[in-house]
Amino acid sequence: MRLQTTRLVLRDMSETDLPNLREILTDPVAMAAYEGPFDDSESQAWLDRNLQRYDEDGFGLWAVELRDAPGRMIGQCGITRQRLEDDDILEVGYLFHRAHWHRGFATEAATASRDWAFRQLDAATIWAKVRDTNVASMNVAIRLGMTVRRRFLTHYRGADMPHLGFAVDR
Ligand SMILES: CC(C)(COP(=O)(O)OP(=O)(O)OC[C@H]1O[C@@H](n2cnc3c(N)ncnc32)[C@H](O)[C@@H]1OP(=O)(O)O)[C@@H](O)C(=O)NCCC(=O)NCCS
């Protein structure tokens, strides 16, 4: 998979991305909504899960690179199959290295991912499950044209987490 936007390239992740991925997933600030940073084995498991998604679904979270500085993954963005309460949904996910926040990259990558899912998967609706404390993520969802459709609770890493279910229809 390879998608190009004005400033970014989205492509499949591979084992060689693990050091860059680890930098993102071990950052306590970036991982606040995930109840704290991952350790090295959790980062490896995250990568493995994504590689498995490519095999099983043909898509997943992709590596995001700057077009004018290729070779370094600055974030991840893409489409994953998720459960939301009793429903199977398609979600757009975004998680960027802190050095690359506040430039519009997450919105640019997520817009391309959303449109890819509408086009390639014929998806009727794309969701974003956002923890109720994660204002930056809510703002990306709003910039994607999403509205809040549901409130729900998840249990993750020992914590109960109220979430909002944002969605946009094709
Ligand atoms: C969620 C996350 C990706 C959002 O990052 P972000 O930098 O706030 O979002 P964007 O990349 O869309 O950038 C938007 C900002 O860039 C600014 N911007 C600058 N140039 C821009 C441009 N050319 N186009 C659009 N926006 C631009 C916008 O005004 C906005 O400013 P603000 O941060 O002051 O509101 C980031 O906070 C993150 O990685 N968090 C940790 C992981 C996470 O929680 N993921 C979501 C799980 S649900």
Chain position carrying tokens 């909002």: 164
Q: What is the DSSP string of 40-93?
A: HHHHHHHHHHHHHHHHHHS--EEEEEETTEEEEEEEEEEEEEEEETTEEEEEEE
What confidence score (pLDDT) does residue 89 get? 98
| Structure token digits, residue 128 | 């974003």
Query: Ligand 1 atom closest to Cα of 106?
Result: 11
* Spacing, Cα 110 to ligand 1 middle (Å): 11
> Rounded to an integer, what distance in angstroms lies between the CA atom of residue 80 and that of residue 54?
10
> Which two tokens mark 97?
């290295």
User: Which atom of ligand 1 lies at the shortest distance from residue 34's CA?
Assistant: 44
Q: What is the largest CA-CA distance in the chain?
A: 43
Environment class of 76 (CB within 10 Å of its CB; exposed 0-12, middle 13-18, buried 19+)? buried
**Which atom of ligand 1 is the closest one to the Cα of 107?**
12
- pLDDT tens for 13-24 read 999 999 999 999
Which amino acids bring their CB within 6 angstroms of ligand 1? 30, 33, 94-96, 101-107, 130, 134, 136-137, 139-140
| CA-based radius of gyration for the chain | 15
Q: Give 86 Cα–ligand 1 centroid separation in angstroms.
A: 30
Residue 54 pLDDT: 98
* DSSP 3-state percent helix, strand, coil across the chain (nearest 5): 35, 40, 25
Structural domain harbouring 108: 2-169
Residue owning the nearest CA to atom 30 of ligand 1: 102
pLDDT beneath 70: ranges in the chain: none
At 155, which CATH number? 3.40.630.30
Can you give the pLDDT at residue 51? 98
- The domain tally of the chain equals 1
Q: What pLDDT is attached to residue 11?
A: 98
Residue with tokens 């995930």: 34
